[in-house]
A and B are shown apart, each in its own frame.
Chain A
């Protein structure tokens, strides 16, 4: 029977691990953590050294090492689950040692695994918090082993272990360790001096971080006491949420519960031999109640599994925000230039997001659809959906900015934003790759070499380095590279001060009138800012791009201009501008008139047929109308 229970337990553990893997791989997808946090682990002495000078640094180093493998979707997910499961196994063993029962082991394992996965539902979650906690579990488990063998001797080892753990994994891990080991000591029947030892241990643990802060480590007090440290300027501003607090308190709480359970033997109907370390004699002794125990144990086990799975489902649904994930997916697809997939992913989004707005516009432009489909996505931020508002810029927006300027062919600005990004994430492969590419476009081969040398120390980038390193010695290769060659054609060299995106776009067109991407962005900029002067100045250039017919959104803005002036501009032919647009505009105005030009009242009537038009935008969505930029609620 015991064998059955053990098998059942192992099977349950396997089921839980597989469930966790499934959830991690298909819902959470840790490669999005990699993408958003830009892990850049380097095999170099300097990189390691930078992690050794503060409490928790070693755990952070390990976390950086592990999390780089999140890059691989399946194996990364497995790694997340494996690291989350390890404390579960240790806790099961510790709980058994504290209560002398394995009856609730699956719950212990399941709860810890559950929270190990739950914390990953936030894509800004700093993975070091998991690794630091794992260190606390390992230290506690080792201490428990020593304590079982030599209770008094282990007390002398405790301060050394506490100090070492503090150095490896910082204050919160130390608190987990000290609370857990206190309960282990409390549950020991052999120790006579528990009352004196435990308060001393807890005091030591409470003050050690402070002493470390005061006399050893040039860090802040928050660094040694807080679970996570948010740096300034805020980049990946993770807000410590209840999952992480619970995750850190699980081990001491579990041990405490088991300690109390042990004090009330009536809660432990099983004989001691259920722990597994049974003797033939003990097994014989339980034969009398075989059926009853089997039923009880099986039932309890089943009940635990049901509760675990139900609680897991409930907590996961509560914690996981699929919309946030979709935004990251959109950014990930943009990073990889998967524009069609990006637009498909956007169809699934339910809320407006300024980052999605920005990437959708890029996707349209890359696919040559920007003028045709501009208003298919609500342009609630106006021109700030094209170019981020620099006054609200934060670290997360630096690379998208660099990407956009690279698209446009303006290397100085692409480099400017890439350097800003690199300041925040010095070893990010994505940023370093951009610096290499922009340097190659600029023919700055020495600089490209410098960044390639750093990338070469990243395990995941060696193939990429091998591809581009020959460009440094054989510069003809760079010239033959389509992307580099195109950007060189567009990249201006004349001296110019960047004041605003519109003047940058004009500068780009002045440099190369064939820069279609810049042209589309320029016209779109004039549309979104209702800048009719520049719109009418630059629109006639459409002929140089071989357009037979003006795209929809341009026609719509032009229709407004035609109606205002009561005349057609010279550059328009019947082929390029259709009457159908004027008719639609007439219909739009007619509906408006039906409501006596009451814009508010006409909204729902207009929305039906005209929501995705320039006309609807200027009346209802333009930030000048909505005033959304005043309180910046849309930019979070």
Chain B
């Protein structure tokens, strides 16, 4: 007991001495940037982001870091350890005052010989554009077939609070995935539940229900979603999904035997589709344009055998849709895989309608397992497209825009090649993206011991307010069966199904 007390006292005094030591005045300049983890060098950050705590991977016995922004007095953090944890209040104040200017980070390390070293200053930029305050994501282990504990969480990006939106322990460990929001609005949310208590949970401003979107004329219940900006309609792909395990760069291939598109009206609980998006081809991954008049999607030829199924590539297409009349337009090819030499997946249109961001990989559409998956940007006004400058040698996959369109988040495995982490980047009006940075954590070493994946990160403008209890109660309740909208060509769909589903 006494020993513990003594240790505590010594620790406290040591920490106090470190924090109260005099400012470093004499030092040796090291003409390179310090090694820090995560890499927060040369980045642009939102003025409302949580403190960028980091570890200094330089040997030393004491550390000092000075953050200077907007010509204000520097924020100084001293530590006897290499972990730098920044006070939230002071950090916020500094970012607010420094918005639109550079954030200079000076790292000083006291060597074992007692000499202070100053590394070249890290210069970041504080944007004036705020990022949406919350990020919703699913946390999952790396298993592919089995699952156990998993959940969908929301993280306040302005601090370090993480709360569950729904954990599967509350719904008898069913599987859950594909959460989606309408226009980044946390009041419009959907979550798919699989296996036990299956169905699609839908929340529209506190009105909650569970829906079964499978009909007798569609191949499955809704899978990959996209909310219409009206907050009422949701486009889904309906897929027959399978997985194959591989040796080589890609460890697992997720592919579809067949797939179509549907649009679900969450007010009337009806599903509509059209022969134009229910062809023998594999229509997939719908994404609405911000005006809600056009539905972008990907499409790949029908398959003959496993090799085709895995190795075929997807094109980017679009079709008009009128939510008032459920009238479908004609299909138009936006970008062909032949132009790119790559397969296209996860199209997302920026809120201003100017850009369309998408993933490319060598084949298929399930890019998270493809190390060569990259993010690309298509200028919808000019038709120009390019591979984005933010890519790494590892997987870059699922992405979503902030409500302003100036920020976007995407998952990347660049930290270790295995685990997907959320990275943020600033996108200017010309489509130039800043160097991405990983979501800050209170513990700078967090990502080095966290062995779950961040899946489907979605930026939202506030906290999801419906409680996990309310969501659970809805999911444990009965499903509302979706009907088929009048006007769907049932004769065609019946024939289509009989030819497709073998």
Give residues in A with beta carbon < 8 Å to B: 44, 46, 54, 214-216, 218-220, 222-223, 231-233, 235, 393, 395, 398, 410, 412-413, 415-416, 419-424, 426, 444, 446-447, 449-451, 453-454, 457, 492-499, 507
Contacts and interface: CB of A to CB of B under 8 A. Distances in A.
A163 to B, nearest CB: 18
Contacts of B141: 419, 422-423, 426
Interface string B166-210: 110111111000000000000000000001100000000000000
5 contacts: A218-B169, A223-B169, A395-B146, A424-B148, A497-B245
A220 B171 contact: yes
B448 to A, nearest CB: 5
Interface in B286-300: none
Contacts of A492: 247
A602 to B, nearest CB: 44
Given A416-B245, A416-B252, A451 B451 contact: yes
A588 B250 CA distance: 51
A423 B148 contact: yes
A492 B249 CA distance: 11
A497 B253 CA distance: 9
B421 to A, nearest CB: 12
Interface string B439-468: 000000000111100000000000000011
B144 A419 contact: yes
Contacts of A393: 145
Contacts of A220: 169-172, 476
Given A218-B164, A493-B247, A498-B245, A44 B145 contact: no
Main secondary structure, interface of B, reads: loop
B10 interface: no
* Nearest 6 CB-CB pairings of A with B: A423-B143, A495-B248, A218-B170, A423-B141, A218-B468, A412-B247
Interface stretch (B320-328, B349-357, B412-420, B428-436): B412-420
B191 to A, nearest CB: 14
B247 A498 contact: yes
Given A412-B248, A423-B142, A457-B449, 12 more contacts: A44-B449, A218-B469, A220-B169, A220-B171, A413-B247, A416-B245, A422-B143, A423-B143, A494-B247, A496-B247, A497-B244, A498-B244
Nearest to A223: B169
B interface bracket (residues with beta carbon within 8 Å of A): 35 or more
A412 B195 contact: no
Nearest to B151: A218
A235 B149 CA distance: 12
Interface string B124-151: 0000000000000000111111111100
A493 B248 contact: yes
Given A450-B451, A454-B449, A498-B246, A412 B251 contact: yes
B451 A424 contact: no
Nearest to B175: A232
Nearest to A450: B416
A451 B244 CA distance: 25
B438 interface: no
A444 B249 CA distance: 12
Contacts, number: 128
A233 B147 contact: yes
B331 interface: no
B142 A419 contact: yes
B310 interface: yes
Nearest to A221: B476
Given A223-B169, A410-B247, A412-B246, A497 B310 contact: yes
Contacts of A233: 146-148, 173
Contacts of B232: none
A232 to B, nearest CB: 4
B246 A497 contact: yes
Contact of B145 (A223, A420, A444): A420
Contact of A422 (B142, B195, B416, B469): B142
Contacts of A215: 469
B306 interface: yes
B146 to A, nearest CB: 5
Contacts of A232: 172-174, 195-196
Given A232-B195, A412-B247, A423-B147, A453 B448 contact: yes
Nearest to B468: A218
B495 to A, nearest CB: 32
Nearest to A412: B247
Contacts of A412: 245-248, 251
Contacts of B166: 218
Contacts of B416: 446-447, 449-450
B120 interface: no
Contact of B167 (A218, A424, A451, A497): A218
Contacts of A419: 141-144
B300 to A, nearest CB: 18
B496 interface: no
B468 A450 contact: no
